[in-house]
Structure 1
Amino acid sequence: MEYIRVTSIDDPLFKKLHDLMKEVFPKEEVLEYSLWKEPLEDPSIRVFVALHEDEVVGVTEYRYYPDWNIAMTDFTIVGRPGLSLGRFLAQSRLKDLNELAKANGKELFGMFAEIYNPYDGENHEFGGVKTMDPFVRREVLSHLGYKRLDLEYVHPSWENDGTAVQGLQLSFMPTDDQVNELPASLVVDFLSTYYSVLSNKPQEWLDMIETLKKSETVGLKPI
């Protein structure tokens, strides 16, 4: 298994990567092909594939924010069972992030992720890929140490149509498992930066940000 970074839409691996995304994720979660050009060329955005026998069987995208010493997992795709892909991607990603934090003179504080809440009653089939079942993924992320932020969470659709996407919970995996809250200002700064590429924010998202601005901390709860 190889862990390979993709930095251009012209890389043949990117088409395989994008096709896998379209098979797995709902359409509102997948950025259009050509719009990937700038993100892939952005040195702060790290997109890696798991390559097995010349096939892209897994993908992870994440980024490190040196000013806050935190990371964000944009997504992780485990496209085939029986290869220990989840562990391979998680371990390879963490090794890379630890090296980035070390180069920044710090120990990684933690990592954000948006996690589907399968208990909300919505159907998240993820292209019928059983390894991506939201119940399974939620438990795996819990085992990795993720905790959900104690807030009513929505995010803007990546189709940039002003729609508020429901059914996700913003979560955080602190390096120190004893951390049970985050500064609300960190959450505001992170979300404002993370979604700055989308110009058409839904009112629900703007209201959530305003509520956070009035808070000092946000609790971290078990998932």
Structure 2
Amino acid sequence: MEFTRIISIEDPLFAKMHTLLGEVFPPEEVLEFDLWKEPLEDPGIRVFVAVEAGEVVGATEYRYYPQWNIAMTDFTIIGSPGKGIGRFLAKKREEDLKQLAQSNGKELFGMFAEIYDPYEREDFDFGGIMAMNPYVRREVLSHLGYQRLDFAYVHPSWKNDGEAVEGLDFCFMPLDETKEIQASLIVDFLTDYYSVLSNKPKRWIEMIEELQNKETVRLLPL
């Protein structure tokens, strides 16, 4: 299995990855094909696929923010079971992020992730791939060290239609024994992360305003 970076929508592997995205995630979570052009060309956005016999069997997108010394996991896809794809992607991502942090003269502080909450919303089928079942994924991410940030979370739809997407928790995986993080870090990160979307839902704006009135946010079990 190969860990291959995609930097252009012209790469044939990208079309295969985008098809896999559409099979696994709900429509409001998938950026349109052509809108991937600039993100893929951004050196700070790292999109890798797991390739076996020329086919994309898994994928992960993540990014490192040197100004905050944190990372964000955008998504991880396991295309088929029984191949160790999840572990392969997680280890390769960890190695890459550690190198990026070392190049920044630091040890990685931690990583954000949006994690589906099937206890709130159960209509996720993720293309019928059991390895992507939200109950399974939630427990795997908990084992990796992710914890839930203590606030009610919504995010803007990637359709840029002004709708608020529910059914997720915003989480953080500290690489030390941190029990809370600065609310300002969350605000700065989310504001930057969703800056590409011009049509923000009212509920998202209110969430950001509430966070701006806090000093810290607790980390809770996932």
Q: With structure 2 as the length reference, what TM-score do the two structures score? A: 0.99
Q: Which runs of 4+ in 1 moved over 4 A?
A: none
Deviation string, structure 1 residues 112-141 (Cα, Å, up to 9, x no partner): 000000101431101111110000000000
Deviation, 1:84, is 0.6
User: Quick one: distance in 2 between partners of 1:121 and 1:83?
Assistant: 29
Deviation, 1:25, is 0.4
Query: What residue identity is the alignment partner of 2:129?
Result: V
> Percent of pairs identical after alignment?
67
Deviation string, structure 1 residues 63-108 (Cα, Å, up to 9, x no partner): 0000000000000000110111111000000100000000000000
Counterparts of 1:152-163 in structure 2, within 5 Å, are: 152-163=152-163
Q: What SS class does the counterpart of residue 151 from structure 2 fall into?
A: coil
Match of 1:145 in 2: 145
Query: What residue identity is the alignment partner of 2:73?
Result: T
Query: What residue identity is the alignment partner of 1:166?
Result: E
Q: What SS class does the counterpart of residue 208 from structure 1 fall into?
A: helix
1:127 aligned onto 2:127:
yes
Match of 1:201 in 2: 200
Q: What SS class does the counterpart of residue 120 from structure 1 fall into?
A: coil
User: Quick one: distance in 2 between partners of 1:108 and 1:58?
Assistant: 25
Match of 2:117 in 1: 117
Q: What SS class does the counterpart of residue 124 from structure 1 fall into?
A: coil
Counterparts of 1:38-187 in structure 2, within 5 Å, are: 38-176=38-176, 178-187=177-186
User: Quick one: distance in 2 between partners of 1:123 and 1:20?
Assistant: 19
Deviation string, structure 1 residues 149-204 (Cα, Å, up to 9, x no partner): 0000000000000000000000000111x111010000000000000000000000
Unmatched segments (≥5 aa) in structure 2 = none
Q: What SS class does the counterpart of residue 115 from structure 1 fall into?
A: strand
Query: What residue identity is the alignment partner of 1:218?
Result: V
User: Quick one: distance in 2 between partners of 1:123 and 1:30?
Assistant: 17
Q: What SS class does the counterpart of residue 62 from structure 1 fall into?
A: strand
User: Quick one: distance in 2 between partners of 1:222 and 1:121?
Assistant: 19
Unmatched segments (≥5 aa) in structure 1 = none
User: Quick one: distance in 2 between partners of 1:199 and 1:88?
Assistant: 35
Aligned length: 222
Deviation, 1:53, is 1.2
Deviation string, structure 1 residues 10-52 (Cα, Å, up to 9, x no partner): 0010000000000100001000000000000000000000001
Q: With structure 1 as the length reference, what TM-score do the two structures score? A: 0.99
Query: What residue identity is the alignment partner of 1:80?
Result: S
Superposition RMSD on alpha carbons, in Å?
A: 0.5
User: Quick one: distance in 1 between partners of 2:55 and 2:98?
Assistant: 27
